[in-house]
Amino acid sequence: AEMERTFIAIKPDGVQRGLIAEIISRFERKGFKLVAIKIVVPSKGFAQKHYHDLKERPFFNGLCDFLSSGPVVAMVWEGEGVIKYGRKLIGATDPQKSEPGTIRGDLAIVVGRNIIHGSDGPETAKDEIKLWFKPEELVSYSSNAEKWIYG
Ligand code: DAT
Ligand code: MG
């Protein structure tokens, strides 16, 4: 199995709406493995670092204010194809365009409150995991379910 890791964050709206367990359970039931998790209130400067690719966009300031407005559940999930498939589980950026069955499709309505973040590729996954977690916060372990998930 070609194991990958991706960075997933439940944003302040998802936390405040009580959707932590709902979101974790979708990744967990799929068969992905949780290898790091913490709850933090990012500073605005940290949010700007996280979203640095978007700094020229008109919504950048509001986005960074929002991400730093309350607790965020930061996670690293591991599994075969988890970067790309994690984005599929999340759905399109604009919840109006997200398919039903996706996290944003089922649980959000507007783009500015789309409840979850997921890395968009291998390079951003690596950078975001490094930004949010120290190496020792990532836990490598084997799960007994793996042989039933991957065969
Ligand atoms: P994604 O979170 O799907 O990777 P992105 O990286 O393009 O989307 O943008 C990051 C976040 O910025 C997104 O989750 C919500 C916000 N955002 C994106 N486009 C926006 C827009 N047109 N207006 C307001 N907020 C927007
Ligand atoms: Mg993005």
ipTM exceeds 0.90, yes or no:
yes
Q: Residue 19 in contact with residue 107, Cβ under 8 Å?
A: yes
Q: Which amino acid is at 15?
A: V
Cα 90 to middle of ligand 1, angstroms = 13
Q: What is the pLDDT of residues 119-150, one digit of tens each?
A: 999 999 999 999 999 999 999 999 999 999 99
Q: What is the pLDDT of residues 6-43, one digit of tens each?
A: 999 999 999 999 999 999 999 999 999 999 999 999 99
The sheet with strand 3-10 has its strands ordered as: 33-40, 72-80, 3-10, 116-118
- Biggest alpha carbon distance in the chain? 47
DSSP string, 71-108: -EEEEEEEEETHHHHHHHHH--SSTTTSPTTSHHHHH-
Q: Which amino acid is at 93?
A: T
Alpha carbon distance 68, 26 (integer Å): 25
| Whole-number Cα distances in Å, 11 to 33, 67, 139 | 20, 6, 22
DSSP state of 113: G
Cα 143 to middle of ligand 1, angstroms = 34
pLDDT-derived band at 1, boundaries 50, 70, 90: low
pLDDT-derived band at 101, boundaries 50, 70, 90: very high
Q: Residue 89 in contact with residue 102, Cβ under 8 Å?
A: yes
Q: What is the phi/psi pair of residue 10, to 5°? A: -90, 115
Q: Which ligand is nearest to the CA of 93?
A: 1
Which are the catalytic amino acids? 117
Task: Kindly give the number of the ligand 1 atom that is closest to the alpha carbon of 90.
Answer: 3
